[in-house]
Amino acid sequence: MSDAQEIAARKLRDAYSGKTLPPMRDTLDPIDVDGAYAIQSINTRFWEEQGRRIVGRKIGLTAKAVQAQLGVGQPDFGVLFDDMEIADGGVLEQSKVIQPKAEAEIALILGKDLPAREITRDELADCVAEAMAAIEIVDSRIADWKITFADTVADNGSSAMFVLGNERKALPGLDLWTCGMVLEVNGETVSLGAGAACLGHPLIAATWLANTLTERGEPLRAGDILLTGALGPMVALVPGDKVKATVGGLGSASFSYGAE
């Protein structure tokens, strides 16, 4: 890792205190994939050394329109730590986020270790123990969400927190392609979508992640949580909001963005 990458990683960590950064163009070319993941890895190792435990991964940029907006043709990923999970129906504390947005997703939990080689979608599906509705709360340490692809990757995929629904289902018999999604804030529908909006199918997104991580020498393991990507547009949050995501066949997940 270069000194510049170490400095950029530290700036991102420091920004969790609430002071955002300008886009990182002085350190990163907007589409510098390797440099961005190098910075993400520096902070992942730092946080593990601080006692945080990795429980899975999140996939971002699964919508073609968002990829086009950032000038790339691929998704990205970030790390999920144990302290990022909010219980279904729980509260997101204001101190945990800076400029949060919510998006509805399908989450998968692996029941088997994935083989350390390229796998197919069917092989991935065979390793999934459970699927459920989920909400990802995304956030950015970059001011006003003026992100490039490299900014969001370096910033751990613009991740913050997540909620998993309590209703867990095995994959057989589920339709993760045409299943509908409704995201509500304070009882009002604010985002609609479907499984097909997630890179064509949530299992396609999960297979991309599995193979990408295997190439990096980090194969997914039994028990890992996979947030497969947004099923519809994300929504900005304000304190007091009550958020609920419902996914056809998978039930719902919810949280409140409340005062301390």
| Long-range Cβ contacts of 53-56 (<8 Å, 24+ apart) | 53/81, 53/82, 54/79, 54/80, 54/81, 54/82, 55/80, 55/81, 55/82, 55/85, 55/223, 55/224, 55/225, 56/80, 56/224, 56/225, 56/226, 56/227
Predicted local confidence at residue 130, as pLDDT: 97
The domain limits of the chain are 3-258
Contact 238, 112 (CB under 8 A): no
Mean of per-residue pLDDT scores for the chain? 94
Higher per-residue pLDDT: 209 or 66: 209
Over the stretch 6-25, which tens digit does the pLDDT of each residue have? 999 999 999 998 889 999 88
Please report the DSSP string for 86-121 in residue order.
E-TTEEEEGGG-SS-EEEEEEEEEESSPPPSS---H
DSSP 187-242: TEEEEEEEGGGTTTSHHHHHHHHHHHHHHTT----TT-EEEEEESS--EE--TT-E
Helix (H) or strand (E) holding 132: strand 128-138
The answer to whether 20 and 141 are in contact (CB under 8 A) is yes
Supply the pLDDT for residue 26: 81
- Residue from 55, 62, 108 nearest 250 by CA: 108
The pLDDT value given to residue 259 = 61
The CA distance from 239 to 93, in Å, is 9
User: Is it the case that residue 69 has pLDDT exceeding 70?
Assistant: no
* Residue 205 structure tokens: 């997104």
CATH number of this structure's domain 3-258: 3.90.850.10
Q: pLDDT tens digits for 105-160?
A: 999 999 999 998 999 999 999 999 999 999 999 999 999 999 888 999 999 999 99
Predicted confidence at residue 227, as pLDDT, reads: 98
CA torsion sign for 195, 201, 204, 205 is negative
Instruction: Look at residue 62 and give its three-state secondary structure.
Output: coil
